[in-house]
Amino acid sequence: MAPLPKAELHLHIEGTLEPELAFALAARNRVQLPWADTEELRKAYLFSDLQSFLDLYYGLMTVLRTADDFAELADAYLARAAAQGVRHAEIFFDPQAHTGRGIAFGTVVEGLARALDHSEERHGISTRLIMCFLRDLPAESARETLEAAKPYLNRITGVGLDSAEVGHPPSKFAEVYEAAAALGLRKVAHAGEEGPPAYIREALDVLGVERIDHGLRAVEDPELVARLVRDRVPLTLCPLSNVRLRAIDLLEDHPLRSMLEAGLLVTVNSDDPAYFGGYVGDTFHAVHEALGLAPEQLRELARNSFLASFLDDDEERRARYLAEVEAYDFGSSDSVDAVDSARP
Ligand code: ADE
Ligand code: ZN
């Protein structure tokens, strides 16, 4: 049966680089990888924390060199996402991870944009692009990146903040976020993935973000939770990522269900699906099984994904997607098969 319609709001395009495509691009671009083959590479996907993942993630993305490479990467993601019910995707990219190794900002955006331009007709997915600043690099580098983005602002909806969180609080980027807002860009930031609840407060109070990416550690601070509920601040949770990066031991321990029941505007996303064991439909399927979410709670997650999306410039489309969510029929059985498990 057709998968539940949903938006994906927390997805790093470089995190969709599957081993097969990585090796194909390595051969095409004559990049020598330190793994013999895809099997050996997959064996390295045993992470102890965020940094251990980031080391591999930045290493593997060196195979991405040309606009064609970025277009192929994005098109492959969109095909997989479509098969799992994604109707709208707000896609992160990490420009500094490419400009830092000599790939022009324009090469990255032009390649991604080429795939995104065909996304609606080819995959039935509307898209937005969000450029993330790497928080473990100096704020000056983020400022330079915003400068480099200026010719491409018609393609970029917003700015985000990612990479190694602890020791790099949101306030480090106050100035560049202010400059981004002045350019009309929307604002999000990763906070509370490994960092403390105070980073979530800073992202809201100092950067003025509209959504928090992850926000997992908000649950440690009841006052913060009350504020997030009251202000309807979306949290883009990534449950499979939290387990793989050891923020949480088992998916069964994930606070997603209690966060939903506390009235938080949470969404479910895949983060870096090539590395964390599943795309967003797989993630819905996994949390349904592990946390025993009822079909109506899955519908709430899907509804939230569109409510939290940056479709403010196309309310008609948002209303159409929301109507699809409300009309979705889980069928007579609430078995997991009826929920979401489509694989491309
Ligand atoms: N970059 C890609 N995935 C990330 C994550 N889960 N946290 C921070 N930065 C990232
Ligand atoms: Zn992320």
267 sits in which H/E element: strand 266-268
The confidence band for 332, taking pLDDT boundaries of 50, 70 and 90, is low
Residue matched to tokens 């509307």: 126
State the pTM of this model. Answer: 0.97
Give me the helices (H) in 100-246, please. Answer: 105-117, 119-123, 139-149, 174-182, 197-205, 222-230, 239-244
The residues spanned by each domain of the chain are: 6-309
Name the 3-class secondary structure at 299.
helix
User: Does 296 have pLDDT greater than 90?
Assistant: yes
221-249 per-position pLDDT tens digit: 999 999 999 999 999 999 999 999 999 99
User: Does 339 have pLDDT greater than 90?
Assistant: no
Other CB atoms within a 10 A radius of the CB of residue 82 amount to: 19
Q: What is the mean pLDDT of the chain?
A: 96
Distance 109 CA to ligand 1 centre (A): 19
194 lines ligand 1 (CB under 6 A): no
We find that the CATH architecture of domain 6-309 is Alpha-Beta Barrel (3.20)
Question: Catalytic residue among 72, 90, 193, 194, which?
Answer: 193
Atom of ligand 1 nearest to the CA of 238: 6
User: Does 335 have pLDDT greater than 80?
Assistant: no
10 lines ligand 1 (CB under 6 A): no
Distance 214 CA to ligand 1 centre (A): 10
Q: Is 315 a catalytic residue?
A: no
pLDDT at 113: 98
pLDDT at 234: 99
201 lines ligand 1 (CB under 6 A): no
Distance 333 CA to ligand 2 centre (A): 33
**Ligand number nearest to the C-alpha of 275:** 1
User: Does 66 have pLDDT greater than 80?
Assistant: yes
98-151 per-position pLDDT tens digit: 999 999 999 999 999 999 999 999 999 999 999 999 999 999 999 999 999 999
Instruction: Kindly give, in sequence order, each residue whose CB lies less than 8 Å from that of residue 124, ignoring residues fewer than 6 positions away.
Output: 82, 87
Tell me the CB-side half-sphere exposure of residue 113, using CA atoms within 13 A. 13
- Which residues partner with 129 through β-bridges? 91
User: Does 275 have pLDDT greater than 50?
Assistant: yes
The confidence band for 11, taking pLDDT boundaries of 50, 70 and 90, is very high
pLDDT at 240: 98
